[in-house]
Chains A and B, each alone.
Chain A
Amino acid sequence: MDQLSQPGAPTPSTQPKNWLVESILVTIFCCLPFGIVGIIYASKVNSEWAAGRFAEAETASKEAGKWTKIGFFVGLGVLVLYLILYFIMGVALFSGAARFNN
């Protein structure tokens, strides 16, 4: 890992994706701390890249992506579970009420 960023190694031309926008979206819409971890790694991508540590920037990019995706899918999972429970309870209440009326 370290060898890649030593002087003399070829300079990659484009900065790795920093996932900042996705992290912000996860933070604002998912209300989970994973988005904030994503923002921290986004910051690391930019600063490592600016310091010329390209391999470290690449690693930070992977971490940023990982935490942002975890946040997104945990949020999605919670939403799906919630909706399933909501409709199961709704159906149970509805059929319960129907029995009561009969």
Chain B
Amino acid sequence: MRLTGNFIALIVFAAAAVIYFIFNPAVTSFFPNCPFYSLTGFYCPGCGSQRAIHQLLHGNIIAASGYNVLLVLSLPVLLYAMMATVYKTVKGTYGKWDLIYKPWFPKAVLIVVLSFWLLRNLPFYPFTLLAPHN
């Protein structure tokens, strides 16, 4: 049952990757806009992610950072978390791979996310660099 769920998740993930590789959300209309941005006119921490993923899948890290630098910065953290999970599966414990479970780490993540949310909405340089742009 669990295996079936993982298998379906993998297929959905692969299909999404293909769609985001082929179509550029910056010029294609059928990708959904951010509900938060549509309602408020302010960027959320996730705004620009779809365009950033398209650029990442084409290897353009600079362009991806222009759309959502937080997404690009989160990649090493996600990679670390994956490796920590593998380590735990093999060894039965996180051992030294326990950054995710250190008391300070989620607090730091929260501060970074909230700061990013606020700063990318400031309408003047250099904060405009954090707003989604080409």
Chain A residues within 8 Å of B, Cβ to Cβ: 14-15, 18, 20-21, 24-25, 27-32, 36, 39-40, 42-43, 45-47, 49-50, 78-79, 82-83, 86
Report whether B46 and A30 are in contact in the complex, using a CB–CB cutoff of 8 Å.
yes
Report whether A46 and B106 are in contact in the complex, using a CB–CB cutoff of 8 Å.
yes
Report whether A36 and B110 are in contact in the complex, using a CB–CB cutoff of 8 Å.
yes
Report whether A32 and B114 are in contact in the complex, using a CB–CB cutoff of 8 Å.
no
Which of A27, A31, A42, A50 has the largest number of chain B CB atoms within 10 A? A31
What is the CB-to-nearest-CB distance from A14 to chain B, in angstroms, rounded to a whole number?
Answer: 8
Interface pairs (6), CB distance under 8 Å: A20-B100, A28-B68, A28-B74, A30-B46, A36-B45, A83-B32
Main secondary structure of the interface of B (DSSP, over half): helix
Main secondary structure of the interface of A (DSSP, over half): helix
Instruction: Report if A31-B103 is in contact (Cβ < 8 Å); known contacts: A24-B74, A24-B78, A24-B109.
Output: no
Chain B residues within 8 Å of A, Cβ to Cβ: 30, 32, 34-37, 44-47, 49, 68, 70-71, 74, 77-78, 81, 93, 100-103, 105-107, 109-110, 113-114
**A83 / chain B contacts, CB cutoff of 8 Å:** 30, 32
Query: Which residue of the partner chain, among A15, A29, A39, A79, contacts B49 with CB atoms under 8 Å?
Result: A29
Query: Which residue of the partner chain, among A24, A31, A82, contacts B77 with CB atoms under 8 Å?
Result: A24
Give the nearest-CB partner of A48 in chain B: B103
Instruction: Report if A21-B100 is in contact (Cβ < 8 Å); known contacts: A39-B110, A39-B113.
Output: yes
**B70 / chain A contacts, CB cutoff of 8 Å:** 28
Instruction: Report if A18-B100 is in contact (Cβ < 8 Å); known contacts: A24-B109, A36-B113, A36-B114.
Output: yes
